[in-house]
Structures are given as structure tokens and as C-alpha cells.
Structure 1
Amino acid sequence: MKKSGTKSTEKIESILITQPRPSSEKSPFYELERKYGVKLDFQPLISIVPISGKDFRKQKINIARFTGVIFTSRNAIDHFFRTCEENKVTVSQDTKYFCITEAVALYLQKFILYRKRKVFYGSDGTNKSLFDVMNKHKENLSFLYVCSENQQDSHIVNWLKDNECDFELAFMYRSQSNDVKQTVGDKNFDVICFFTPSGIKSWFNNFPKFKQNGVVVGTFGDNTKAEAQKSGLTPGIIAPKPKSPSMITALDHFLAAQSKND
């Protein structure tokens, strides 16, 4: 990775999105390219490895007993229903689902009949807004927090403990760093957008000597922002926020502001 001398007042030309390239040409990311004349590169920094149904059973978790399920990503949803299918678990139609964002909540439509009375999400994508929703139901529910074996949200775990909730952590997948030294190591980026704490850890596994040096860092989620700051980075694009519920809208607002400065 070459050092970049880009400053926030200079024209943004190259942006790295640390996720897979969208399959649809109608993706809003491509609209950003056309709208602002920028070049977007896509490179996932982590791979998700499923924990088999057989290995999950070693955790001795009875999925059917839980009346509330917590999801912080689409990966968690995918692997929850995969694990249920592999273990022939029937999920009750009365199960309530608590999601970190509306986008994650809407993804449930792939697996269930979506009803607002059983699908809940925070108003602005923050942990606090998720906790506000969970707080209204915690007395009557037992929570299953579906998460990665090597990446749990400590704020969620601590909230469940502090509120004396009946809960278990269900490890249904794990993340591993991708080797991206050859694919992105010789490129300069004006903006790098991170979506998970694991992604930031993977970045520094690949580029341990990386210095921000004026590169604009984008982060999605409280924990990704915290990991960025822990790693010595200063986020300049932060989502979700009330007016920027996604990284796409946050980038749009950022690039619009940059265009006014040109």
C-alpha cells in the first residue's frame, strides 16, 4: 500500500469499498460513480466461514427455547436459518427478531413472513437505539444473540448482562482475514470505507505499517468506528446517522460537500 498524501480539501478520485462488488448494475454505489466521477474499487477484507450444524450442536444450545433473536448483520441471518435447517429446528412463528438496522430487518423477508409486530430495529442504526427497542420487551423474552465465533459486540453482551436478561451467545459462523496485499497493495485510495471491526483488523494484518496520511476513513457502526480509533485512524465519514442511515448515503453527503469545495 503506497502512502497517500490526499487531503480532505483535494478532489476525491478513488474510493475503496471493503465489501464484495455488487452484482446488480443498479446498485447505488455505481450511481455514486456516475454522479461524482469517482472510481470505486471493491475488495472484501474478510471471508465468512460457516460453523457446521454438527459443530454448533457442541454448544448445547436449544434454539427453540428462545423467544427473541438478535441480528447485527445479514450474515447472522443467513447462518441462523442455515443452522436451523441443518439441525431440523422449527422456529416458532411467535419468535421476535431484533435487528441493528432497518436494512438488516428487511433482509428477514428472505426467510420469514415479515410482520412489524415481531420484527424490530433501532431508529438510527446505533446500539443505543437497538437497546431502546429491546428494553420494551426484555421482561418477557429469552434472547439468542447470533454472532461470529471471533467477533461479538461487547456492548450488546454487556447490555444483556447489565439488564439481567435471559440470553445465550450462538456462534454460527466465524470470520477470517483475506490476503489483499497483491490486489490493493499497489493502489492509492483517497477514501477507504470499513464496515466491520474484523475488516479493520484484516486491513492491518495485510498492511501493518499503514498510516492514514490524509486518507479519508469511513466507518459503519459504533464498533467499527471504535476499532478504527483503537487502530489509530480518525474516521471522517461515519454511518449510520439520522440523515445517513447507510454508507452509501454517508458517501453521497461527503462527496456532495467535496464538490461544493472544488
Structure 2
Amino acid sequence: MIKKILVSQPKPTSEKSPYYTIAERFDVDLVFRPFIKVEGLTSKEFRQQKVSIADYTAIVFTSRHAIDHFFKLCKELRVNISEDMKYFCVTEAISLYIQKYVPYRKRKIFFGSTGKVADILPQMVKHKNEKYLVPMSDVHNDDIKELLDSKNLKHTECVMYRTVSNDFTEEEVANFDYDMLVFFSPVGVDALTKNFPDFKQKDIVIATFGPATARAVKEAGLRLDLEAPTEKYPSMTGALQHYLLEHEEE
């Protein structure tokens, strides 16, 4: 029977999170413990990419991490950001986060609603003479590059931050007594094998979100018991609730 679940994500900030409903409904102990963390490149590492931030007139932000590490590097490199700089963000929530660093009302900020760059592409095309800089993680594909290429926009992608293993303490290793592990990225699976080189799955249930994470579990030689999203259960919480309901009597 599943009584203790490790969710490899930060603890939800909202009390209305579906995870809390699941914990109460099935009387399970949910422990939120990220297996990964994001860290910025040093200014020395960034310089190796030979990208001059001051040469660009517009920035494309796909996450809050990108915003944090962009402004952090600008400070370290002593780059003065022009008030005429344009910011293109994949959601309004991400655009509002910019005000942590600059006066929001005085900036030219554009945003989409879907969380995808394709959604803000029409706005970018209206400003086709801009030089776009796209801060990215070390783990990325060429989707954004290909999108911007398709519209003949002048752009450069650069790595400003990376995802690394969030190592476990000796105490956490000693008290690793979970019935279920929930992963959201391949790096999280790597963190498990790194921190627990002698890990034996046995009856521990493993759940994943996203095809890349599922593939990482299988490649690690582990058994995948629950995979999301599916057409019926597009969220991890929905899939998790269904799984617990099915195995409630075990």
C-alpha cells in the first residue's frame, strides 16, 4: 500500500493545490523535495559564448529563471540595459516578473497567453528590425531557433543557466523510505541514480511526467509504473489520483 510519496518538485504555494486534496483523500504523506536545481553560468563561462548583450535590442523570456539569470549576468558584466529594450515573454505572469528588476510601466513589454514562443511570434514579426537575444538553459532543443529562422528574424540563442542535481544529505539518504517516487525531468532521474548508486526499486512505484522523463527511467533500468500526461489524464495530479484509486485496496 502506498502511504508515503516523494514528489520531486517544490512544495505548492497554494493551499488549493490538487496535491493536498490527494493527500487528504487517500491519507498519504506527500513529501516535496526537488531532485534538481537551477544555477546560473558565471560571467567567465558566459563570455566563452562570445555574445555581447549590449548588441541586442530585444530579449525573449521563456521562464522566470531566464529573467533572473539575464539580469544577474548583466549586473556582473556591468551591462547597462537601455530603456528602449523590448521584452517578449511567453506569458503575462513571466512578463510581470520583470518588474523585480526594472520599472515595468516604463518598458516595452509584450506577452503571449499559451506559454509558447509561437504565440508571441506575430508580435515579434511586427518588430522584425530588432536583434533578438534568447536566454536559455543548457538543456534545450532547436525549436525556438527554427521558429525565429522561419520568419527571418535576427536572433541569437545563448545559455545563461543550467539544471543540476540537487544532492541529498546523509540524513536524507538514511531516511529514504518512500513507497512512490514522482519525477518530472530526466535530470531528476539522474539525480536518483547519482545519490543512490545501489538503489533497488523492488516495490517502490515510479511515476513520470513527460516522454523524456519516462525514457530516462527505462534507460536507467527501472520499472515505470505510471506515466503522464495521457489523453485522459493530462496532469500529474489527475494521473496520480487515478492510480491511487485503482490500487486503494492493495
TM-score by length of 1: 0.66
Matched, 1:59 2:59: no
Q: CA deviation at 1:259?
A: 7.5
**Residue 49 (structure 1) aligns with:** 39
- SS of the aligned residue for 2:229 comes to strand
Question: Structure 1 161/217 Cα, relative in aligned 2: closer, same or farther at 3 Å?
Answer: farther
Equivalents in 2 of 1:213, 1:103: separation in Å? 40
2:67 pairs with 61, 77, 88, which one? 77
Q: How does 1:89-238 map to 2 (within 5 A)?
A: 89-93=79-83, 94-99=85-90, 101-114=91-104, 118-123=109-114, 125=115, 129-138=116-125, 139-148=128-137, 150-180=138-168, 183=172, 186-194=176-184, 196-206=185-195, 215=205, 217-219=207-209, 225-231=210-216, 232=218, 236-238=227-229
Q: Which ranges of structure 1 fall in alignment gaps of 5 or more residues?
A: 1-10, 220-224, 245-249
Q: In 1, Cα distance between the equivalents of 2:159 and 2:50?
A: 11
Specify whether residues 104 and 181 from structure 1 end up closer, same or farther in structure 2 by C-alpha distance, changes over 3 A only: same
1:222 matched to which residue of 2? Answer: none
Which 5+ residue runs of structure 2 have no aligned equivalent? 219-223
Q: How many residues align?
A: 232
Between the two proteins, what is the percent identity of the paired residues?
Answer: 29
SS of residue matched to 1:88: coil
Instruction: Give the aligned CA root-mean-square deviation in angstroms.
Output: 4.0
Change (3 A) 1:192 1:57: same
Aligned-partner residue type, residue 100 of structure 2: K
Indicate the structure (1 or 2) with the bigger Cα radius of gyration. 2
**What is the Cα deviation at residue 229 of structure 1?**
3.5
Mapped contact 1:71–1:146 kept (Cα < 8 A): yes
Task: Give the residue type in structure 1 aligned to 2:28.
Answer: V
- Asked whether the equivalents of residues 179 and 203 of structure 2 are also in contact (C-alpha less than 8 Å), the reply is no
CA distance in 1, matches of 2:55, 2:30: 45
Structure 2 CA distance for partners of 1:33 and 1:55, relative to 1, 3 Å: same
Cα shift at 1:60: 2.7
**Distance between the aligned counterparts of 1:154 and 1:59, measured in 2?**
17
TM-score w.r.t. structure 2 length? 0.69
- Counterparts in 2 of 1:35-46, with a 5 A limit? 35-36=24-25, 37-46=27-36
Q: CA deviation at 1:75?
A: 2.0
> Aligned equivalents of 1:155 and 1:181: distance in 2?
37
Structure 2 counterpart of 1:98, one-letter code: C
Answer whether contact 2:186 2:212 (CA < 8 A) is retained: yes
Which of the pair has the greater relative contact order for Cα pairs under 8 Å at 6+ separation?
Answer: 1
